[in-house]
Amino acid sequence: MVSIRQNEYPNALPDFRNLGVVARILLVANLLALAAALVREAEPGRVLEAFVQSTVLVEPPLLATLVLLLAGAPLLRRLPWWRGCALVLALVLALSAGAHALLGAIAGVGLVRMLVLAALATALVLAYLWLHQRAYSPALAEARLQALQARIRPHFLFNSLNAVLALMRSDPKRAERTLEDLADLFRALMSDGRNLVRVADEIGLIERYAAIEQLRLGERLRMSWELDEAPVDALLPPLVLQPLLENAIYHGVEPGTGTSDVLVRVERRGNRVHVLVENPAPPPGAPPRHGNHLALDNIRERLMLFFDADARLETGERDGRYRVELEMPYRAGRA
């Protein structure tokens, strides 16, 4: 089972494939180089010069390390923390020694000094990443995820039950189907929000949700689905798509009296999963319905907990259509 609980060792190395982690390493390493330059040179003018000079020796092994860590990330994540750290340290030292052999003459720094500095810097970066990870430790993240569990508007539940009651006599078959759909929806809502689910399951869920809305709203709702290119095996946090569709219907369809088109598109582009949900923008001057940003903030925060800085959720308006775009890394898996 894939979940954020996969982080079983409290002291595991971070995922080096994650953009946020890579950015933090680059930032911390360069800040250290700058600090070293500040310590060495008293004159402000010379500090920059010293910093630039040191980058000649710092950047090549740093970048090479990052590339190798990226490639070896799956392996590193399986090692206990201290072994992982030892491996990273050995990697940095080897690459630094290599860089020194090639470029040492330009920079004019002794090999031993360079290796000691590289080891210190590596230790500092690892310690920082460890602290950062503890701050977002799985236990804490789990607690937050549970608090963030997606919620359906009660308004929807009671109106749906009312619609089912209306069908009981006229179309008992459809009433049955609708109750089954409702049951699936609420099973998903009450399930463990910490486990990733497959895109195929999430799509099945929003199709059921849309069927219920269709029953309530009739021809006022016209759904279009673009799901042929959807990466069915991609993993994502549960109930990320459903609130987007719920918002689209609540803000884009219910306030209107005519027919409103809602589009849902899920596709894979390279190593990213793209989701687009589009609905008619409310007419200017229409009274705003509240509660929009709560759902979006909720999804954003859950994406952050699962993907760190590697996922994004953007909203905007174009040609009278309100669009929500969601992008996240493609990770295949069986949930």
Partner 1 sequence: MSAPLRVFIADDEAPARERMKSLLADIRPSVATSLAGEAANGLEVIERLPASGAQVLLLDIQMPGMGGLELARHLAGLQSAPAIVFVTAHDRHAVEAFELNALDYLMKPVRAERLAAALKKAAAAGPAPRERLERAGEQAHAGAREFFSVSERNRIVLVPVGEVLYLKAELKYVTLRTKAGEHLIEEPLVSIEREFAERFVRVHRNCLVARGAIRGFERGGGETEEEPHWNVVLEGLSERLPVSRRQWPALRALLPEARE
**HSE toward the beta carbon, residue 166, CA cutoff 13 A:** 9
Residues near partner 1 (CB under 8 A) are 153-155, 157-159, 161-163, 165-167, 169-170, 215-218, 220, 254-257, 285, 287
Strands 272-280, 260-269: pairing is antiparallel
**Closest distance between partner 1 and the C-beta of residue 315, in Å?**
22
Residue in 252, 206, 243 with CA at minimum distance from that of residue 226? 206
**Closest distance between partner 1 and the C-beta of residue 288, in Å?**
9
Amino acid, res. 130: W
Q: Which is nearer to partner 1, 129 or 175 (CB)?
A: 175
**Closest distance between partner 1 and the C-beta of residue 154, in Å?**
4
Q: Which is nearer to partner 1, 157 or 200 (CB)?
A: 157
Q: Which two tokens stand for residue 278?
A: 């589009």
**Closest distance between partner 1 and the C-beta of residue 41, in Å?**
53
d(CA 325, CA 317): 11
Which of the 8 DSSP states describes residue 42? -
Contact 148, 130 (CB under 8 A): no
**Closest distance between partner 1 and the C-beta of residue 166, in Å?**
4
Q: Residue 195 phi/psi, 5° resolution?
A: -95, 135
Contact 205, 185 (CB under 8 A): yes
Q: Which is nearer to partner 1, 108 or 218 (CB)?
A: 218
Q: Which is nearer to partner 1, 212 or 305 (CB)?
A: 212
d(CA 208, CA 324): 20
Q: Which is nearer to partner 1, 17 or 177 (CB)?
A: 177
**Closest distance between partner 1 and the C-beta of residue 254, in Å?**
6
Q: Which is nearer to partner 1, 46 or 155 (CB)?
A: 155
